[in-house]
Amino acid sequence: MIVAMKADASAEEIRNVIDRISGHNLKALNMPGGERTAIGIASAIPPDLRVTLTEMLERLPGVDRVTQVSRAYKLASREFHPADTLVSIKGVTIGGDKVVIAAGPCTIENREQLFEAAKIVKEAGGKLLRGGAFKPRTSPYSFQGLGVEGLRLLKEAGDEFGLVTVTEIMDQHDLDLFLKYADVLQIGARNMQNYPLLTAVGRTNCPVLLKRGPSAMIDEWLLAAEYVLAQGNDQVILCERGVHPLDRDHTRYTLDLSAVPVVKTLSHLPVIVDPSHACGNWKWVSAMSAAAVAAGADGLIIEMHPNPSAAMCDGSQALKPDTFTDLMTRLDAVAGAVGRAMA
Ligand code: PEP
Ligand code: MN
């Protein structure tokens, strides 16, 4: 439910509406706008209270109208927050008119590999450096990442090359550690519905990159974002990374590009695309990167490895440095064609 105040509503009238909402043990959110203030009710309203509450609020001085938010997610919805959310990290803005690229290896393997990747990302115009330190591997016998040492290397490389860092957190108990080393907390596809983890990152003010689970419907994904927003952290970037496929012979997942315009209509949060995990094969990554930018994605997160054939994880989908650099040049024209520019 959203209470739109009149343009000339006084601070006292706004306070009164908030107090009345809180008096019903509901969470009221004060959302000052350019011309007028709106007050949102973030809690679930008991069905028997809905009509009385609407009528009571409509009668209060300073109230223009009360509208119902029809969707299960509220804070993540455009109804609640019509303007695009901009996520800003160290001078890089995601969700504005520029398309932002994050790239780097799937996994941080050693200093040399990561620093070489960072140099290539920087020189090609990427703004974020990705790299996993704690990896969610299907098999417990596969390389699990360098752990804390990987986080330290990532921070060092980010500082040295002036890149914003993004890395996956799997366990909320590691939060303090990640806050010390990472600029953006990635919630991986497997953890999209790990509610304690979503709640924990929601209590920070660190930007969160929330990947879509491969079996998640769009509303489930937005409800996962709602968990983060409901704790007060509004710096959420959504990431489409492919859904369970019909055909596994040629691609790893199926990149759901229609999710980009759909989610940008339903929500104010920025949406980026990970073509690498969707395709599973470097050969399709450039085409799907271009398609994602054409579809209106606010950015891409791409796996790139200085030497993919030697990669410890996801080598088959990693772009070689030359292919990545070439793609970056070609994306300029695609972004321009849809009224955007590369950051
Ligand atoms: C990753 O980004 O390295 C990763 C594991 O991605 P996803 O969670 O999308 O599978
Ligand atoms: Mn990977």
Q: What is the pLDDT of residue 229?
A: 96
Nearest protein Cα to ligand 1, atom 4: 188
Q: What long-range pairs does 317-320 form, CB within 8 A, spacing at least 24?
A: 317/106, 317/252, 317/276, 317/277, 317/279, 317/280, 317/281, 317/282, 317/285, 318/105, 318/106, 318/276, 318/282, 319/103, 319/276, 319/282, 319/285, 319/286, 320/282
> For the residues 256-263, what does the mean pLDDT come to?
98
Read off the pLDDT of residues 1-14 as tens digits, 9 standing for 90 and up.
Answer: 999 999 999 999 99
Place of tokens 């996520």: 87
> For the residues 39-67, what does the mean pLDDT come to?
92
Read off the pLDDT of residues 209-244 as tens digits, 9 standing for 90 and up.
Answer: 999 999 999 999 999 999 999 999 999 999 999 999
pLDDT surpassing 90 at residue 29: no
Buried b (16+ CB within 10 A) or exposed e, 212-247: bbbebebeebbbbbbbbbbbebbbbbbbbbbbebee
What separation in Å is there between the alpha carbon of 63 and the centre of ligand 1? 46
∠ CA 31-218-130 to the nearest 5 degrees?
Answer: 85
CB of residue 106 inside a 6 A radius of ligand 1? yes
CA–CA separation, 283 and 327 (whole Å): 12
What separation in Å is there between the alpha carbon of 18 and the centre of ligand 1? 41
CB of residue 188 inside a 6 A radius of ligand 1? yes
Of 254, 156, 255, 233, whose CA–CA distance to 187 is shortest? 233
CB of residue 81 inside a 6 A radius of ligand 1? no
Q: What is the pLDDT of residue 247?
A: 86
Considering Cα of 46, then 52, then 55, then 59, what sign does the dihedral take?
Answer: negative
CB of residue 212 inside a 6 A radius of ligand 1? no
Atom nearest to 190 CA in ligand 1? 8
Atom nearest to 136 CA in ligand 1? 5
Cross-strand bridge partners of residue 168 = 186
Give the N- to C-terminal CA distance of the chain in Å, as an integer.
Answer: 36
Residue 302, both tokens: 């791409």
CB of residue 263 inside a 6 A radius of ligand 1? no
CB of residue 252 inside a 6 A radius of ligand 1? no
CA–CA separation, 230 and 79 (whole Å): 16
What separation in Å is there between the alpha carbon of 320 and the centre of ligand 2? 14
Confidence class of residue 80 from pLDDT cuts 50, 70 and 90? confident
Instruction: Report helix, strand or coil for 7.
Output: coil
> For the residues 56-69, what does the mean pLDDT come to?
93
Looking at the CA of 191, name the nearest ligand.
1
The pTM assigned to this predicted structure is 0.92
CB of residue 211 inside a 6 A radius of ligand 1? yes
Confidence class of residue 68 from pLDDT cuts 50, 70 and 90? confident
What separation in Å is there between the alpha carbon of 87 and the centre of ligand 2? 23
Read off the pLDDT of residues 260-283 as tens digits, 9 standing for 90 and up.
Answer: 999 999 999 999 999 999 999 999
Task: Spell out the residues 6+ positions from residue 186 whose beta carbon is closer than 8 angstroms to its own.
Answer: 130, 166, 167, 168, 169, 208, 209, 211
CA–CA separation, 200 and 307 (whole Å): 36
What separation in Å is there between the alpha carbon of 104 and the centre of ligand 2? 10
pLDDT surpassing 90 at residue 42: no
Backbone phi, then psi, for 128, in 5-degree steps? -120, 145
Q: What is the pLDDT of residue 188?
A: 98
> For the residues 173-197, what does the mean pLDDT come to?
98
Residue 63, both tokens: 């109230």
Cross-strand bridge partners of residue 187 = 210
Looking at the CA of 188, name the nearest ligand.
1
What separation in Å is there between the alpha carbon of 180 and the centre of ligand 2? 23
Atom nearest to 211 CA in ligand 1? 9
Residue 180, both tokens: 């010390």
